[in-house]
Structure 1
Amino acid sequence: MSKYHNQHTLYYIDALLKFSNYSKAADSLYISQPYLTQVIKRIENELNCQIINRSELPYRLTEQGKIYYDYLGSLDTVHANMRRQIAAITDKDKKTIKIGILASIGTYLIPLFLPKFLARYPDCQIELAEDIPENNEKRLLKGEVDFWIGQNSSSIAPNLLAVSWGKHGYFAVIPKSCELYQAGIATIGAGRVAMEDLLRQRLVLTAKGSAIRAQLDHLFGIYKIKPDIVLESREIATVKHLAMAGCGITFVPESLPVTPCPAEYNIYPLPIEQLNLDYFIAHHGHRELSTMEQGLLDSFLRYNDTAKY
């Protein structure tokens, strides 16, 4: 079997069909455009046929491409079922819960609720699928993970059920290298800086695929701004520290602590109606949850309880 016949190939094809553009598809996948082109070309050479009709927009699967796509999907399903069956036989006394999560938010969220859950269910094992939200949503829909933890539940697939913490706001970190910086002020009062002015500055942002980046891209479109992005990172902590060091403005959730340092940067609370996040945990609506899985939801919702439960 060719090394290109794998789960990633499905994601590559999905992205091309979604964007009908190699560059945009590659950006969404965090790979280079030449690499994506090479993968598709090698598959088509191997199969001796075209799998995607690129002669007109939007891109569509050819008849041969539909057969190939269905084949890859069936391989994914068989592989997932095989792993579940082996896991069930290998360790009958333990239950493994698979959770999809973006690595950068997992660093913050997982320690808040998982220790309490594992204290209640010591026989449970946790397996994390650390990937971008779009891919983890697909995994949940196909039953490859049991839960998906994300940042905004309003746009998830309709057959998924989610519980959330409610809306949380964002702060802008404005370094002294920025013209909007106000000397000697730790936190600028709400409403003192226009969102449009913030977006026109030099920026250090999380990469495409994150919840905050999706909202920022939407605002760039509303204000018709071509952003001046100095650097992108998949890690929110990285862009936070780069902003604090003077590389440009960034936007961080209020749940991520920023130590005040008015000599180096300002902290500015942003309007929650324009930028917000809503941490959630989702599961497939057609699947009945076990007592242990209900316990995971309970631990997630009660993450800030100080009492032992």
Structure 2
Amino acid sequence: MSALADLPPLRAVIARHGLAARKALGQNFILDLNLTRRIARTAGDLSGADVFEVGPGPGGLTRGLLMEGARHVLAVEKDPRCLHALEEIAAAAPGRLTVLQGDALEIDPRDHLTPPIRIVANLPYNVGTELLVRWLTPPVWPPAWESLTLMFQREVADRIVAEPGSKAYGRLAVLAQWRCDARIAFTLPPAAFTPPPKVASAVVHLEALPAPRFPAPAEALQRLTAAAFNQRRKMLRAALKGLAPDIEDRLAEAGIAPTARAETVPLEKFCALARALAR
């Protein structure tokens, strides 16, 4: 711990390595180590887990994860400018940090980490939602990871935990709540970041369930929710007519009124409709 605590302040690291955040990479850094350690603690006891971190930047959250006892951290960074700063952290925590330069969309953490695996990240805004959907829709469930502790724009966080009938309720809510317990752990104002984004952010914690809440073919549910919420203002009989010629019969079988709109349909009935469509 002492070697990690002796590392220079993050502002000094950024200045020395020329790590001004780049908008094109969706970078917004958290420099307050009290905050990064709080994010790490939200992920639970890390002493017996390996952690996959996406977009570590200068390593604020990376330090927090290691200080909070993570067994091993795999940090994947696309920006080559950040590698030297991350290597300095690796030297202060021998054998506990692996740094890879690359695109997180193309890297499977199972190739580098030993279960149990937890994913913890201040996700780059430009790929955060895509990564979340990928993690929620693996071909086999339970997934390789036990939990996700992720920073999002507050608007995206609200969509993950939204209830039916709310404006935020949509595909993310269905996919997340089908297979996970999801909650917003805490929010952060723009001033917590460098540079400050235009909106507030929130840390969302998702615990993988051993099995989905309701039975449904995964591919059918993904296709169904994409079609339903892509035209959320339309009645479902119109929004889903491309999925089956007898869509009204399938809706009736699932107990959903053909005139209903996607934002009013609870998770259980989406799963029932996915089963009807798969048949």
| TM score, norm. by length of structure 2 | 0.24
| TM score, norm. by length of structure 1 | 0.22
Structure with bigger RCO (C-alpha 8 Å, 6+ apart): 1
